[in-house]
Structure 1
Amino acid sequence: MKVFLKKNIKPRIKNGHPWIYDNEIEKIEGNVENGSIVNVFNHEKYFIGKGYLNTNSKIRVRLLTRKNESINKDFIKKRILAAIKRRNTSEKTFRVVFSEADNLPGLIVDKFESYIVIDITTLGMEKLKPYILESLIEIFNPLGIYEKSESSSRIKEGLEKISEWVYGRGPELIPFQINDIKFLADTKGQKTGAFLDQRYNAMILGNFSKNKICLDCFSYTGNFAVHMLRAGAKNVILIDYSKRALEIADEIMKLNKFENYELINANAFDFLKNLDKSSKMFDVISVDPPSFAKSASNKLSALKGYKEINLRAMRLLKDGGILATSSCTQVVSEQEFISTIIAATNDSGKIARTLYRGGQPFDHPIVLNIFETNYLKFFLLEIEKIRY
């Protein structure tokens, strides 16, 4: 089972990127079943590496290794152990495996204290699932492993969506703590149930929230809001379109014994637009929307969305107020995101002073050779009126 690449292809693959597209392949030798491991060679028949193949995907092959080694349980376990060593953490809750960034494309593993949630997005990784589960059980001895593989990419890969306990059992809402705050990961919610990538950014925002009137837009289950309240915010309003997310946010607030908050089930764009017509103003506003674009073809609309939501937030801030703004849209670069913020300040007659510039935490590593691993942009901005 061999895959031969074309002669005139970009040096991307040679320089470390694991994806091989359909138009980069010259020929495939052998009767290869989708999801199977193949050996990849360049046009001169020089060995490039091993990966799994899927002819239903534009990304025909995802490389797992550049060595001529067996892809078995021992291989998977070594990869997971390497990812754990790379993180060098004593935290009980963290992202264990971050797909391509940890040389395991198609696999996400989040650990929430005694429980683990996995997300498998590709057919090739699905076929390796028995090895993944065995390895995680041996390494962590968890009380339960929940598979939350619900990405739309699974349909393209020829897979059904899965949301169930695949080892042991556990609660629908998995309890865990970060930054000494109690949280709940929702097995029926988004992604793996909780967003761990913003935990340090939220902690930094808390430092600017004491005695402040705050607004958390796209709050989901309240990561930013809870950190602001923990730091002494006077009041926080949480806005999210998901009623269930707000119900769980309410549970999290009660776990932490917070009372000075309000939950509003609404579209954040519409809510801010309506607030703009009132006289209500805020000291701190967090804007952390979901990804606005999954592909480069939708980048323009994503940039328009970022400009609009940041402009509306700026109009609702008191002079000298704090805007915490985020983008998790991978196809939008940091510079493009900054440009949309500048455009919003120009339209609102304000300036934005950077107080903190954040991104992904250590357990969401960025491989510089694989730009797709770099997605999260975060800024804490002091918004000031321009006085003439």
Structure 2
Amino acid sequence: MNSAVLKRNIKKRISMGHPWIYDNEIERCETPIDGSLVDVFTFSGQFVGRGYYNSNSIIRIRLLTRKNVSIDREFFKEKFSKAYRSRESLLRNSNAVRIVFGEADGLPGLIVDKFSDYLVVQFNTLGINTFRDEIVESLVKLFNPTGIFEKSEGLALSKEGLERKEEWIHGKGPELIPFVLNGIKFLADTKGQKTGFFLDQRENALRLSSMSGGGRVIDLFSYTGNFALHCLAGGARAATLVDVSQRALDVASENASLNGWKDRCTFITANAFDFLRESDQSSFDIIVIDPPAMAKSSSSKANALRGYKELNLRAIKSLRSGRLLATSSCTQILSEEEWQRSINDAFQDSKKLGIVSFRGGQPSDHPEVSSIYETKYLKFLIYRVFGINEF
């Protein structure tokens, strides 16, 4: 086993459970093959953990365990079992759940989502990809899925020395995988974004559903209609879905049909920013804003904050008194305080007030870990909007 020794003054971040070890935190290291396992020690020789190595990444080592144990099929099986047990409560009225959320489950680089009898996996790092056979075999043994679809994609893959893959790696399944979330029928699109559906909004969408009775809803950045369909399930009389992707809206239309709600839906292919600038939303009772991440690095934070302010400002100006704004951010590098400040600025510029009716975040299948701040990313607020003189 190759080994690496940390510098004398080990950062508290590492000792408190963060799995990433950067190149400038290593005093000396043998020259392991990229993707292979490395034992990590403090400067004084104490065992820190075991992880995988990649010389092409500034995150030189990602720890898989703090114990001196073998990284094998049994190791992954135990990890998966522990993660699944902590999420079973989410399956009372659903058959979809994120089984593995990377670092938050002690498995950096790995994502596993369960949609009914199918699994969708992402191998996002070279090191975790090295164990793909052990991982797939462990998943098959534990969950006996009808099929496992690999959907490894994104800019990070090339940096890790990996190629994009979209294919069935165990069994077979449909291009659109049917599943149930909060009692609503959906399809996970294996040709769509990420793993095919954004399960992280499951609780936020359910809460908005409970506030939607009788309202007209517009779902901006709708993707395949999670928020819109939850609102219809909650009694909304009509929903308009706006997304730049025609394929996403086609799948959303299929989702609406599965639930018998297509005649209550309108689908508009458009850029949400342009749509807000060029159309009138004053007839809607609920405006949902759920954009993709707007920044990946700190150098882009200012632009992201301007984008959030513009989106929310235009929505706030359109909403009549007492109506709802449901707004979200999945931009990890923005703190909740920074993001909410941009919305408060939008309220101020519109000369309106927002009363927070609900503050949401990530469900338990996307857990936040206290010492791994990167695991916290999702922010969600529901405001009831009023004019200043009506408060």
TM-score for the superposition, normalised by structure 2: 0.96
**Residue 70 of structure 1 corresponds to which residue in structure 2?**
70
Question: CA contact under 8 A between 2:146 and 2:172: conserved in structure 1?
Answer: yes
Q: Deviations over 1:83-111 (max 9, x none)?
A: 11222436121000110000001001000
d(CA) in 1 for partners of 2:217 and 2:101? 32
Note if 1:185 corresponds to 2:188.
Answer: yes
Find 1:205's aligned residue among 205, 208, 213: 208
Residues 44 and 279 of structure 1: is their aligned pair in 2 closer, same or farther, counting only changes over 3 Å? closer
SS at match of 2:369: coil
After superposition, residues 327-342 of structure 1 pair within 5 angstroms as 327-342=329-344
- Aligned residues between the structures: 385
- Kindly report structure 1 stretches of 4+ aligned residues shifted beyond 4 Å: none
Alpha-carbon distance in structure 1 between the residues aligned to 2:124 and 2:43: 30
SS of equivalent to 1:356: strand
Match of 2:114 in 1: 111
Q: Which residue of 2 aligns with 1:5?
A: 6
Question: Which residue of 1 is the match for residue 173 of structure 2?
Answer: 170
**Counterpart of 1:98?**
101
Mapped partners of 2:90, 2:153: distance in 1 = 29
Q: Distance in 2 between matches of 1:75 and 1:231?
A: 42
Compared CA separation, residues 308 and 90, structure 1 to 2 (3 A): closer
Gap change, CA 1:2 and 1:273, over 3 Å in 2: same
The residue correspondences of 1:204-283 to structure 2 (distance < 5 A) are 204-258=207-261, 259-275=263-279, 278=280, 280-283=282-285
TM-score when normalising by structure 1: 0.97
Determine the C-alpha separation between the residues in 2 that align with 1:63 and 1:21: 11
Aligned position for 2:86: 86
Between the aligned residues of both structures, percent identity stands at: 53
Residue 12 of structure 1 aligns to a residue whose secondary structure is helix
Matched, 1:20 2:21: yes
Query: Secondary structure, in 3 states, of the residue corresponding to 2:38?
Result: strand
Corresponding residue for residue 328 of structure 2: 326
Are the aligned partners of 2:295 and 2:301 in contact in 1 as well (CA < 8 Å)? yes
- CA RMSD in angstroms, aligned pairs only: 1.2
Residue 70 (structure 1) shift: 1.0
Partners of 1:279 and 1:57 in 2: CA distance: 46
CA separation in 1, counterparts of 2:321 and 2:148? 48
Partner in structure 2 of residue 51 of structure 1 = 51
Q: State which of 367, 370, 381 in structure 1 corresponds to 2:369.
A: 367
Q: Residue 356 of structure 1: CA displacement?
A: 0.7
Q: Is the 8 A contact 2:281 2:315 kept in 1?
A: no
1:16 aligned partner, one-letter code: G
68-77 or 157-166, larger mean C-alpha shift: 68-77
Whole-Å Cα distance in 1 between the matches of residues 200 and 17 of structure 2?
24
The CA deviation string for residues 297-339 of structure 1, in whole angstroms up to 9 with x for no partner, is 2111111111111111111111111000001111111111111
Matched letter for residue 236 of structure 1: A
Q: CA deviation at 1:179?
A: 1.1
Counterpart AA for 1:165: W
Unpaired segments of 5 or more residues in structure 2? Answer: none
SS state at 2:256 partner: helix
> Cα deviations across residues 118-139 of structure 1 (Å, max 9, x unaligned)?
0110000000110110011000
Deviation at 1:10, TM superposition (A): 2.3
* Structure-2 separation of matches of 1:82 and 1:279: 46
